[in-house]
Amino acid sequence: MNLEIRKPKIEDAESIIEHKIKVTKENPDTLATAIENQEPDLEDQINKIKNIGENDLKLVALDGDTVIGIINMFHDKRHKFRHIAQFGISVQHKYAGHGIGSKLIQEVVDFATENDNIEKLILTVFGNNDGAIKLYERFGFESEATLKDQVKLNNDSYTDLIYMSKWVK
């Protein structure tokens, strides 16, 4: 593996879309992605790369030129929520368990810690995603609220949605 972690470039747009399609298929019961509703659009993806805010952090993990992991942290720009940033992460199954997710989360924690606005990092995780919950706990995230049966899975069963958070200041 030739791993690189960096900010996305315009030329990564197609590979980012392919990554999103792949992880959506690989994780039918643990990920909610926009792709489940709508075909991804290249132009839209390019605009997303162009318009990353100064308090946001989007990183891609690449094996060569291929995107195999993404972390996406958005700062909440609303005045009363200006101390909050939320992130989501995905690493392709083939590359899981090699520390890539940990590297991506560490980058986000470091960025948020150094950022003048962000005080609290939050995320949501499905209650059935024990592996991810364990990983977040390792980084000091704590479960803060559980929305019961908030997620309806493809087989019509339900799982909880857990809000986890970590204060970085």
Q: How many CB atoms lie within 10 A of CB 87?
A: 22
From the CB of residue 114, how many other CB atoms can be counted at a distance below 10 Å?
Answer: 9
Q: State the nearest-atom distance from the C-beta of 95 to ligand COA, in Å.
A: 6
Q: Measured from the CB atom, is 45 or 90 closer to ligand COA?
A: 90
Residue 130 · residue 103 · CB < 8 Å? no
Residue pair 74/87 in contact by the 8 Å Cβ criterion:
yes
Cβ nearer to ligand COA, comparing 15 with 90: 90
Contact pattern from residue 13 through residue 52 relative to ligand COA, giving x for each residue in contact according to CB under 6 A and a dash for the rest: ----------x---x--xx---------------------
Under the criterion CB under 6 A, does residue 101 sit at the interface with ligand COA?
yes
Interface contacts to ligand COA, rule CB under 6 A:
23, 27, 30-31, 89-91, 96-102, 125, 129, 131-132, 134-135
